[in-house]
């Protein structure tokens, strides 16, 4: 396979896995944030929002230390017979999950807050158990939020550079993603390839966001 | 199959203490001003309110006790909320089916068709819920609760978000539920006309405390309770249609104290009709006036009297066991020398049948 295609494939694999993990982790987290009355909740919200303001290299630097052979997570991985997570695809996934967390949690938290307790209470009085009402009432009503969260998480992961640079290195076929490939092409003055990848990514991001806004208009249950 | 409730619900400024029971075929109303704890009480019965302690029993099932709490989805209730918010992602039909599908088969006594019929929803089934008017939404919400065949129906100010024009309509639907189904109902409201119309029993709540409870007709006519001081103080009479004067288009209604003639549409012979007679529409005479335009005149005995300011008096009358209230000026009372125990004639200027 052409190295650029490999980079593209790794990018999408990374974005897909990251998005999946983020939806699984982000949904309960966002639910808790939307419902909890805990007075120090704002501290958790702050931590989740940090990647929005932190330079990706800072996040990447700390992740590198954590995931490396002397870091707590990397050390643990080594202790159970694995290898340190820095410069691996798994490490990249972990980094991306942290990096894109706010993009998934915030839209979900907003939609859960907007929907409110009332419909869930109605469902409870209509014999729906807690799980039943979450999946058959909250999730369908919150669909626009899930769609926004998934696409933002996915798109943001595709666009990451700094974090990947710090913890992923540049191993073709393993951790080399499109944004790094573009950087490499520009470095070696291969503008044609850089154009191709950049233009492709631009078009793709545009189409994805357009799909979200278009679909959300059709499903705008919340706005009515 | 009666519901027994004895609850204590702590709140910021006061705590709610209520003990009541709702029996099959009966509507019990909880009446009180906004913020008196009515809604919290309903939520606690449904299991939605945290911090409520006490006992709730439905027939021989315990829903709540000191060491047991049955979660809301396992309590056999139908709850109609103030603001009828339906599930926005489902159309009317799917909203109606939501609770029904989750009710076990052996407990289904009301069919979906019956619920749709009772609330006249057959033309709305395919509609999306955000195209419905406030009144239509509330009808769907009521039918959705009824379709689960609940052991008790809880209405939490169901008319609060309905415009005036549709209030009467919804009240008629609730009355028909009361007639057609044997489901006990608990109805919470701060509107005395709704309560007078619907309920057999009444619980008066103020700042969480139960001021009085008993038969609706009894409580509404007690001079010591706040109802008597309302501008629209009124007595409630349960009557039976005993005949009809076709020539003048009048219905004859029999009650404990005699006969009344009412011009309200065409009522069916034998039908039970509840009437409301406002205190301000009842005047008193010492002898029966033969040449009067007032049709409804009957003898009654003064039971008690209460001053309302300097100018007015409220008189509680007993007509063959039926209590009637009359509001007259203090001047008239003095000139007629009205005293408890006196025989008088009550002249009723206007009667509103609550159908």
Whether B173 and B241 share a structural domain:
no
Residue A219 has a pLDDT of: 55
* B221 falls within a domain: no
Please state whether the predicted TM-score (pTM) of the whole model is above 0.90. no
Chain A positions in Cβ-Cβ contact with residue B51 (cut-off 8 Å): none
Q: Residue range B277-286: average pLDDT?
A: 92
For an interface test with A, the pick among B51, B72, B108 (most A C-beta atoms closer than 10 Å) comes out as B72
Instruction: Work out the minimum CA distance from A103 to partner chain B, whole angstroms.
Output: 25
Q: Tell me: do B238 and B129 sit in the same domain.
A: no
CATH number for A125: 1.10.3720.10
Which one of B98, B106, B150 makes the best mutation probe of the A interface by having the most chain A beta carbons within 10 Å? B98
First to last CA, chain B: 27
Smallest CA–CA separation between A99 and chain B, in Å?
Answer: 33
Whether residues B193 and B243 share a domain: the answer is no
Q: What CATH number has the domain bearing residue B277?
A: 2.40.50.100
pLDDT at A97: 93
Residues B249 and B109 in one domain: no
Q: Which of B185, B215, B245 is the last residue of a domain?
A: B215
pLDDT of residue A171: 79
Instruction: Give the mean pLDDT of chain A.
Output: 87
B206 and B250 part of one domain: no
Least confident piece of the model among A138-142, A195-199, A218-222, B269-273: A218-222
Give the end of a domain, one of B215, B250, B270.
B215
Domain assignment present for A57: yes
Q: Does a structural domain hold residue B220? A: no
Per-residue pLDDT, averaged over A104-113, amounts to 94
A201 is in which domain, residue-wise?
A: 3-218
CA-to-CA dists, residue A91 to A7, A57, A81, A164, B112, angstroms: 16, 15, 16, 9, 56
pLDDT value of position B24: 84
Kindly report the nearest CA distance between residue A134 and chain B, in angstroms.
13
- State whether B8 and B137 are in the same domain: yes
- The average pLDDT across A159-181 equals 83
Residue B223 has a pLDDT of 82
Chosen for mutation from B49, B51, B102, B153 (greatest number of chain A CBs closer than 10 Å) is: B102
- Domain assignment of residue A146, yes or no: yes
The minimal CB distance from B88 to the residues A121, A133, A221 is found for: A221
**Model ipTM value:** 0.83
Q: What percent of chain A has pLDDT over 90?
A: 42
Mutation to test the B interface, candidates A115, A125, A141, most B Cβ within 10 Å: A125
Tally of domains in chain A = 1
Taking CA–CA distances from B131, the nearest residue in chain A reads A224
- CB distance from A119 to chain B under 8 Å? yes
B236-247 pLDDT, tens digit per residue, is 988 999 988 888
Instruction: Look at chain B and report how many structural domains it folds into.
Output: 2
> Are residues B272 and B176 part of one domain?
no
| Cβ pair A111, A142 in contact under 8 A | yes
Cross-chain CB nearest to B89 (options A121, A125, A141): A141
B325 assigned to some structural domain: yes
CB B110 within 8 A of CB B147: yes
**Residue A224 resides in a domain:** no
Q: Is A123 in contact with B87 (Cβ distance < 8 A)?
A: yes
Residue B36's domain spans which residues? 3-215
Report residue B211: phi and psi, to 5°.
-75, -40
- Do A128 and B148 count as a contact with CB atoms less than 8 A apart? no
Q: How far, in Å, CA of B119 to CA of B170, rounded?
A: 9
CATH number at residue B68: 3.40.50.300
Chain B hits for A218, Cβ within 8 Å: none
Candidates B47, B48, B148; nearest CB to A126: B148
**Distance (Å, whole) CA B320 – CA B24:** 28
What ranges in B163-304 are assigned the alpha helix state H?
Answer: 164-180, 192-198, 216-220
Q: How confident is the model at residue A169 (pLDDT cuts 50, 70, 90)?
A: confident
Question: What pLDDT was estimated at residue B224?
Answer: 83
Residue A152 lies inside a defined structural domain of this protein: yes
* Phi, psi at B335, each rounded to 5°: -65, -35
Predicted local distance difference test score (pLDDT) of residue B164: 84
- Decide if B229 is inside a domain: no
* Interface A:B, Cβ pairs < 8 A: 66
Which of A212-221, B52-61, B173-182, B305-314 is the least confident region? A212-221
**B263 and B201 assigned to the same domain:** no
A147 at interface of B, judged by CB pairs closer than 8 A = no
Q: Note the pLDDT tens digit of each residue in A146-158.
A: 988 998 999 899 8
Q: For residue A224, give the nearest of B73, B102, B130 by CB distance.
A: B130
Per-residue pLDDT tens for B109-146? 888 999 999 999 999 999 999 899 888 999 999 999 99
- The answer on pLDDT for A127 being more than 70 is yes
Question: Could B145 and A125 be called an inter-chain contact, meaning their C-beta atoms sit closer than 8 Å?
Answer: yes
- For residue A223, tell me if it sits in a domain: no
Closest CA–CA distance from residue B127 to any residue of chain A (Å): 15
B292 in a domain, yes or no? yes
List the single residue in B87, B103, B148 with the smallest CB-CB distance to A137. Answer: B87
Band of pLDDT at residue A224, cut at 50, 70 and 90: very low
Q: Taking residues A29-35, report their average pLDDT.
A: 93
> Which band of pLDDT confidence, cut at 50, 70 and 90, is reported for residue A222?
very low
Neighbours of A173 (CB within 10 A): 12
Produce one character per residue of B303-328: b if its CB has 16 or more CB atoms within 10 Å, e if not.
eebeebeeebbbbbbbbeebbbbbbb
CA distances from B174 to B77, B84, B122 (A): 16, 15, 17
SS in 3 state form for A175-205? Answer: CCCHHHHHHHHHHCCCHHHHHHHHHHHHHHH
CA distance B105 to A162: 59
Q: Are residues B240 and B201 in the same domain?
A: no
> Which SS3 state, helix, strand or coil, does residue B346 take?
strand
């Amino acid at each position: 396979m052409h190295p650029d295609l490999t980079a593209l494939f790794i990018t999408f694999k990374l974005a897909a896995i990251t998005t999946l993990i983020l939806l699984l982790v982000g949904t309960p987290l966002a639910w808790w944030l939307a419902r909890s009355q805990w007075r120090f909740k704002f501290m958790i919200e702050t931590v989740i929002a940090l990647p929005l303001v932190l330079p990706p290299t800072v996040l990447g630097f700390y992740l590198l230390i954590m995931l490396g052979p002397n870091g707590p997570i990397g050390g643990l991985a080594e202790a159970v017979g694995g290898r340190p997570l820095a410069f691996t695809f798994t490490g990249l996934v972990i980094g991306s999950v942290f990096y894109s967390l706010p993009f998934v949690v915030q839209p979900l938290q907003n939609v859960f807050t907007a929907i409110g307790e009332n419909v869930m209470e109605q469902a409870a009085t209509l014999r729906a158990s807690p799980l039943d009402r979450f999946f058959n009432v909250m999730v369908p009503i919150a669909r626009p939020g899930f769609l926004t969260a998934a696409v933002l998480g996915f798109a943001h992961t595709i666009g990451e550079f700094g974090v990947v640079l710090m913890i992923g290195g540049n191993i073709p076929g393993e951790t080399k993603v499109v944004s790094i490939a573009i950087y490499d092409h520009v470095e070696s003055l291969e503008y044609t390839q850089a154009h191709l990848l950049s233009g492709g990514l631009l078009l793709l991001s545009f189409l994805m966001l357009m799909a979200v806004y278009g679909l959300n208009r059709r499903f705008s249950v919340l706005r009515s | 199959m009666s519901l027994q409730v004895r609850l204590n619900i702590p709140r910021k400024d006061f705590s709610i203490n209520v003990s009541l029971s709702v029996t099959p075929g009966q509507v019990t109303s909880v009446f009180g001003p906004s913020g008196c704890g009515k809604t919290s009480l309903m939520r606690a019965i449904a299991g939605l309110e945290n911090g409520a302690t006490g006992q709730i029993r439905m027939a021989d099932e315990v829903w709540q006790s000191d060491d047991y709490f049955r979660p809301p989805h396992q309590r056999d209730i139908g709850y109609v909320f103030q603001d009828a918010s339906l599930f926005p992602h489902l159309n009317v039909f799917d909203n109606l089916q939501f609770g029904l599908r989750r009710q076990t088969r052996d407990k289904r006594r009301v069919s979906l068709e019956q619920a749709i019929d009772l609330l006249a929803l057959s033309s709305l089934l395919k509609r999306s819920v955000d195209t419905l008017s406030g009144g239509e939404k509330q009808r769907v919400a009521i039918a959705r609760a009824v379709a689960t065949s609940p052991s008790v129906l809880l209405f939490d100010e169901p008319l609060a978000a309905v415009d005036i024009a549709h209030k009467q309509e919804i009240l008629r639907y609730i009355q028909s539920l009361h007639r057609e189904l044997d489901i006990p109902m608990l109805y919470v409201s701060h509107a005395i006309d709704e309560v007078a119309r619907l309920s057999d029993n009444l619980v008066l709540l103020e700042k969480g405390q139960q001021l009085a409870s008993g038969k609706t007709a009894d409580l509404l006519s007690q001079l010591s309770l706040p109802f008597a001081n309302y501008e629209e103080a009124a007595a409630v009479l349960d009557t039976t249609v005993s005949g009809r004067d076709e020539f003048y288009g009048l219905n004859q209604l029999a009650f404990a104290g005699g006969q009344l003639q009412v011009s309200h549409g065409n009522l069916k012979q034998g039908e039970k009709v509840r009437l409301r007679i406002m205190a301000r529409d009842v005047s008193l005479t010492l002898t029966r006036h033969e040449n009067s335009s007032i049709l409804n005149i009957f003898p009654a005995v003064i039971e008690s009297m209460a001053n309302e300011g300097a100018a007015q008096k409220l008189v509680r009358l007993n007509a063959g066991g039926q209590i009637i209230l009359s509001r007259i000026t203090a001047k008239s009372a003095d000139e007629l020398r009205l005293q408890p125990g006196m025989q008088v004639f009550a002249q009723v200027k206007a009667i509103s049948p609550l159908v």
